[in-house]
Amino acid sequence: MSVLKIREYPDPILRQKSKPVEKWEKDLHKLIDDMMDTLNAVPGLGLTAVQIGVPVSLFIYDENLSGEGPSRNYYVLINPEIVSQEGEIKGEEGCLSIPYYRDTVVRSSVVRVKGFNREGGGVDITAEGLLARVFQHEIDHINGVLFIDRLSSLKRGLFLRKMRKRERQLNAEFSGRV
């Protein structure tokens, strides 16, 4: 098992729509194990395969919603889809693929998600609150959507300016080392 590199914005793979998982093979289980090792190494609640450069429709999440510590209890959702949603709630989000940035995003307060577990069995989960937010965030990743896409155009513009400024700073630091 391995800790894998998490792809960061603006890596184009993050905008790619993931393909459905069709075969539950050894490689799939290794990918899931590597994703668990990777999520263990960072402070996050969920991780999609596309975030580590494998555009297949699956994510793992920490059911305890702790995002830290050895008490993590991971679950896997393969080929997930939101089949119903209701309500609306605002809350702060961040993303492992967009480090150093958090903002308020409006999401559904309750979602019902269907998919498959690690063994290929059907899963039907109704989630609310933070778990509903995590499901929506990760399913967005599977569809090539980032949480910044859910911001107003004004906030998205501020984010892009911050990213350009950060890029200039990193380039200046790099130039100073050469």
Asked if pLDDT for residue 175 goes beyond 80, the answer is no
- Concerning whether 119 is annotated as a catalytic residue, the answer is no
For residue 148, the surrounding DSSP H or E stretch is none
Q: Where are the domains of the chain?
A: 12-177
Given a cut of 80, whether residue 102 has pLDDT beyond it is: yes
Beta bridge partners of 127: 111
Q: pLDDT value at position 37?
A: 95
Q: Per-residue confidence at 173, pLDDT binned at 50, 70, 90?
A: confident
| pLDDT tens digits, one per residue of 109-167 | 999 999 999 999 999 999 999 999 999 999 999 999 999 999 999 999 999 998 888 88
* DSSP run (H or E) holding 105: strand 98-107
Cα 13 to Cα 4, 20, 48, 104, distances in angstroms: 15, 16, 12, 24
Query: Which one of the listed residues 25, 81, 138, 167 is annotated catalytic?
Result: 138
- In eight-state DSSP terms, residue 5 is P
Reported as a single tens digit per residue, the pLDDT across 65-78 is: 866 666 688 999 99
Backbone Cα Rg of the chain: 17
Q: Residues 67, 78: contact at Cβ < 8 Å?
A: no
pLDDT digits (tens, 9 = 90+) for 88-97: 999 999 999 9
More confident residue, 1 or 32: 32
In CATH, what is the architecture of 12-177?
Alpha-Beta Complex (3.90)
Distance (Å, whole) CA 7 – CA 4: 9
Identify the band that residue 1 occupies on the pLDDT scale cut at 50, 70 and 90. confident
Q: Could you tell me if 44 and 69 are in contact, meaning their C-beta atoms sit under 8 angstroms apart? A: no
CA-closest candidate to residue 45, choices 119, 141, 135, 126:
135
pLDDT at 42: 92
